[in-house]
Structure formats: structure tokens, C-alpha cells
């Protein structure tokens, strides 16, 4: 998923975090960062999960792109920090849940959250989200998304078919029964026009 789509959505839809939404996250050093104005949000991809192929003669998989938004709050007043966390979580849900980060994606869904750290100066809370898309195209005219599709695109077009029929009966008594006798009883051809 493109970072810019989610960051732009957060910047435009989260006024309490305006100008304080950053890409990338290092949870080990984040809580000790005293130079960052608070509250602040940090966006980072987590992973992607793939389902098995759902088709037999083409390739189709559902891919779940997962990401997180970590909220860093001033916790010098714990009650105020927890109230602010409640409001900022709701603001993030309004900004992201149901938003489509790209034409190929389903709307974003919330995947849960957790408290990472809470001390006398900082509160760090992580919210996880995901959006799914299909790997493998739906229509032949769309660009190839897999090696198999690319390979199929390189094949020549089917322009015609010739069928030759060797019927089992009547069978030649000099050959093993039952089975074709090696003589063609019927041949026909057809051309395909586009």
C-alpha cells in the first residue's frame, strides 16, 4: 500500500494531529523522544498476509496489507492523557476505517490496538489496520500481475482448431479390442475470428 495515500488521509482528516504525522517507527526510541511536539502519530507498515490461490487455471490470492499507527501522548497528567487517547483513537477510526487507499484495495478495517508503554512522561498506544486486495487480474485486458499472466500474455492468439476423429467402433478385428484402429473417420477445421 502506498504510504502517501494513508498519510494524506490522516493529515486531512485528523485535525488534532495536523503536521505531527510521521512515517516510520522505532518503538524502542520513540518513548524517549522529547523533541517531538505531542500528540504525534507514527505510521508504519507491519506485514502482508496472503491467502492460498483460489483458482485452478489462473492465479488469484487475497493479500492483506497490515499497518499500524502509533500515538505518542504527553502523560504528565495521566487522566488527561487517557481522555486524549480515547478522542484520538476515535479520530483515527473516522479517518481510516472505510477509506480505500487505492483503486485495487477494499476499504481499510480496524484490527485492534494495544498499550505499548505508559510512564510519568509519555503514553504510547499502537493501533493496527489492514486493507485487502486481489493479486491476479480479473480481465485479460488488464496488465499482468503474476509471472503466469505474463507468460500467458506472450502466447500467440488462438486462430483456429482442427479435429481428427478415430472412432473406437467399428474396431479392426486384427487389432487389440476395443480401441481406435488408426483410420480417421472424420476430420473438420474451424477458424476463429476476433
CATH of the domain at 89: 3.30.2000.10
Which pLDDT value is given to residue 49? 94
Please indicate, yes or no, if residue 70 is contained in any of the structural domains. yes
Please indicate, yes or no, if residue 186 is contained in any of the structural domains. no
84-101 pLDDT tens trace: 999 999 999 999 999 999
Please indicate, yes or no, if residue 189 is contained in any of the structural domains. no
Please indicate, yes or no, if residue 154 is contained in any of the structural domains. no
Domain range for 124: 3-135
The ranges of the chain with pLDDT < 70 are 25-36, 169-173, 175-179, 194
Please indicate, yes or no, if residue 130 is contained in any of the structural domains. yes
Which pLDDT value is given to residue 52? 92
117-134 pLDDT tens trace: 888 888 999 999 999 999
Question: What DSSP assignment string belongs to the chain?
Answer: --HHHHHHHHHHH-GGGTT-EEE---HHHHTT--SS-SSEEEEEEEEEEEPPP--SSS--EEEEEEEEEEEEEE-SSHHHHHHHHHHHHHHHHHHHTT--SSTTBPPPEEEEEEEEEE-SSEEEEEEEEEEEEEES-SSTTSPP-SHHHHHHHTSPPP-EEEEEE--SSSPPTTSPSSS--S---EEEEEE---
Structural domain count of the chain: 1
Please indicate, yes or no, if residue 17 is contained in any of the structural domains. yes
Amino acid at each position: 500500500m502506498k504510504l502517501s495515500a494513508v498519510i494524506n488521509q490522516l493529515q486531512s482528516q485528523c485535525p488534532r494531529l495536523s503536521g505531527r504525522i510521521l512515517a516510520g517507527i522505532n518503538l524502542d526510541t520513540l518513548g524517549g523522544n522529547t523533541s517531538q511536539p505531542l500528540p504525534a502519530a507514527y505510521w508504519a507498515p507491519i506485514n502482508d498476509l496472503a491467502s492460498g490461490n483460489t483458482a485452478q487455471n489462473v492465479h488469484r490470492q487475497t493479500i492483506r496489507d497490515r499497518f499500524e499507527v502509533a500515538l505518542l501522548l504527553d502523560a504528565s497528567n495521566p487522566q488527561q492523557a487517557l481522555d486524549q487517547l480515547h478522542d484520538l483513537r476515535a479520530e483515527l477510526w473516522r479517518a481510516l476505517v472505510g477509506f480505500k487507499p487505492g483503486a485495487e484495495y477494499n476499504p481499510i478495517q480496524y484490527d485492534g490496538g494495544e498499550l505499548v508503554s505508559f510512564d510519568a512522561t509519555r503514553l504510547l498506544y499502537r493501533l493496527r489496520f489492514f486493507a485487502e486486495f486481489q493479486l491476479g487480474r480479473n480481465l485479460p485486458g488488464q496488465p499482468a500481475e503474476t509471472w503466469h499472466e505474463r507468460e500467458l500474455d506472450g502466447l500467440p492468439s488462438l486462430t483456429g482448431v482442427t479435429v481428427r476423429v478415430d472412432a473406437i467402433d467399428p474396431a479392426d478385428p486384427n487389432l487389440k479390442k476395443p480401441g481406435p484402429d488408426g483410420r480417421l473417420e472424420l476430420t473438420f477445421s474451424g477458424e476463429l475470428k476476433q
